[in-house]
With several copies, the nearest count.
Chain A
Amino acid sequence: MSKVNLNVKIGNLTLRNPIMLASGTVGYGNEISEFIDLKKIGAIVTKSISLKPRKGNKPQRIMETAAGMLNAIGLANVGIEKFIKEKIPFLKKHDVPIICNIAASTIEEYVECVSMLEHEDGIHAFEINVSCPNVKEGGLQFGNDIKMVGKITEKVRANTTKPIIIKLSPNVSYISDFAQAAKKEGADAVSAINTLVGTAFNIKTRKPKLYNITGGLSGPAIKPIALAKVFEIHRKVDIPIIGIGGIMNWQDAVEFMIAGSSAVQLGTVNFIDPTAAEKVLKGLTDYCNENNIEQVSSITGSYQLD
């Protein structure tokens, strides 16, 4: 059986394989490292880091929906200083590329965060979260405003030489327009998708089930939507795409690559099966071997529309 080349290039970033762990779904890698060997994973994307620590929203923060979940964590995180001091050293030990996801409520804050991390050699790339649906400032105000997405990209680009990935909101009419804006301003790649805005009410109390009222929908329920967004970007914009949304197994990962993803991220599945990433990687490798695929990257965008 021939050896598959699992490397993927995402702009200037080369990863040993296309399986990444999504922001906010593995914290800073600590707990999940008891279940999987981080050395084998393509990259780990940190929980969104903001300049100052954030306590996050009050409970109820999460709930289950049909084949999905709503979350309104509210970007709870330790803040950038503690991240540098405490979290990076741990991750460096594990020999896994770290992509630092950054959230902010002003352009200046994004820039400041990036600048503070620019010389941290443990950080391989930035994923700029312009699309968190669960915070009052920044979040969707940014993610749904194409000019703002362009401007954030431009300013971040001006302040780092590391690869930049813009994480796009799916809560828009044409996500490819946003990918185009990101590309134009120098982004190396886009991640698609973040969660979709959703809500739920308790019919006894008539109160929202989440303290934040609305939350972000993730999990298998959103997979068809995420695939359509990835496909739309792939058809319209020439930029590497990291596919995210409802991936539960290797078949889903392959489907996202066929639809146009250069790499994929696993999110919600980590909560259900923290060993999923290794299983997906094995399944993908076997798929390549069985189908005589020498370069995993050749699957990207290989859809057949006749």
Chain B
Amino acid sequence: MNIAENQIDEIIELEYNIHLFKVISPEIARKINPGEFLNIRISELAIPLFRRPFSVCDVEDDCYYLMFSTMGTGTKLLASKKPGDFIDVLGPLGNGFNIVDDFDRAIIIGGGLGVAPFPYLTRQLKGKKEIISFIGGRTKNDVITYGLENISVATEDGSLGFKGNVIELLEKELDKTDNIKSKIFACGPTSMLKALKILAEQNNIDCEISTECTMACGFGICQGCPIQSSADEDKYLLVCKDGPVFNSKEIIL
């Protein structure tokens, strides 16, 4: 991990107010793995005070991509940056997805902006593993498919694809699965991850989930981001340092 000023090379506006920043940093582009994140100081002033964590969305040559939408103060300020501006970036941080495991099919599950880490994961898996992606949202405006492959969509209001949540869709599809050894990679709202954890464990599918929480430091010094370990009742893991990606069996959501 390192702190540096990274220059924004290009800004791509996707549908439904999703911003994609292409940022120049050979160091980060070289080092970062899918599921790892960057902690960004958006203003020199004390508001917002904390850095804001963003997954690496993709990597291309000397650049990495960030994907976000405007939630509050921080993302609003970030969205006002222009190509050529610099951002203060701390990273790479955290532990990403484990893709050296023995599996043949990657089942990618993203809810809303939870898809952010998956273009990069898809890039790394493509050609090596079978990929199926299940993408969910409240309505079709929440469904982001940028950089993904082999996509099935679920929306809660039925405005696109399956009507229901993405875990229900997965459950339906899982019934049909064969004997190919699968591994799930998921990121999204905690309610989604909870339902998924149960489903994956019932079906005995290896499952990695990327968790989210408020962070101050992002690298293990503030103790602000605990998550219950399932191995040891007396122990919290840290989302920023031990995660954000955990095997679903490691933690209690």
- Interface, chain A (partner B; CB < 8 A): 24-27, 30-32, 34-35, 47, 53, 55-56, 58-69, 71, 73, 76, 219-221, 248, 268, 270-275
Chain B residues lying within 8 Å of A68, measured Cβ to Cβ, are: 46, 49
- Which listed segment binds A: B58-66, B106-114, B218-226? B218-226
B220-A59 in contact (CB<8A) = no
CB distance from B50 to the nearest CB of A (A): 5
B221-A31 in contact (CB<8A) = yes
In the complex the two chains form, what is the Cα distance from A32 to B217 in whole Å? 10
B49-A59 in contact (CB<8A) = no
Contact with A along B222-233 (1 / 0, CB 8 A): 111111000000
Which of A35, A59, A271 contacts B213, CB < 8 Å?
Answer: A59
Chain A residue nearest to B226 (CB atoms) is A59
With A62-B214, A76-B236 as given contacts, are A273 and B223 in contact (CB-CB < 8 Å)? Answer: no
Chain A residues lying within 8 Å of B225, measured Cβ to Cβ, are: 59, 61-62
With A61-B226, A62-B224 as given contacts, are A273 and B41 in contact (CB-CB < 8 Å)? Answer: yes
A26-B221 in contact (CB<8A) = yes
With A34-B1, A66-B46 as given contacts, are A71 and B222 in contact (CB-CB < 8 Å)? Answer: yes
Chain B residue nearest to A60 (CB atoms) is B214
CB distance from A101 to the nearest CB of B (A): 14
A27-B46 in contact (CB<8A) = no
In the complex the two chains form, what is the Cα distance from A190 to B131 in whole Å? 60
Interface membership of B183, Cβ < 8 A: no
Which of B50, B213, B235 contacts A55, CB < 8 Å?
Answer: B235
Residue from B47, B49, B225 having most chain A Cβ neighbours under 10 A: B49
Chain A residues lying within 8 Å of B236, measured Cβ to Cβ, are: 55-56, 76
A61-B49 in contact (CB<8A) = no
Chain B residues lying within 8 Å of A61, measured Cβ to Cβ, are: 223-226
- Interface, chain B (partner A; CB < 8 A): 1, 3, 41, 46-51, 90, 213-214, 216-217, 219-227, 234-236, 241
Apart from A55-B236, A62-B224, A219-B49: 10 A-B pairs, beta carbons within 8 A: A24-B223, A35-B3, A67-B46, A67-B47, A68-B49, A73-B223, A220-B46, A221-B46, A271-B50, A273-B3
In the complex the two chains form, what is the Cα distance from A34 to B51 in whole Å? 18
Which of A27, A55, A56, A272 contacts B49, CB < 8 Å?
Answer: A272
A27-B220 in contact (CB<8A) = yes
Chain B residue nearest to A221 (CB atoms) is B46
Return 8 A-B CB contacts under 8 Å, by A number: A55-B234, A59-B227, A61-B226, A62-B222, A64-B48, A271-B221, A274-B3, A274-B217
CB distance from B167 to the nearest CB of A (A): 23
Chain A residue nearest to B41 (CB atoms) is A272
CB distance from B59 to the nearest CB of A (A): 22
CB distance from A122 to the nearest CB of B (A): 20
Which of B46, B213, B217, B219 contacts A248, CB < 8 Å?
Answer: B46
CB distance from B56 to the nearest CB of A (A): 19
With A55-B235, A71-B222 as given contacts, are A271 and B46 in contact (CB-CB < 8 Å)? Answer: no
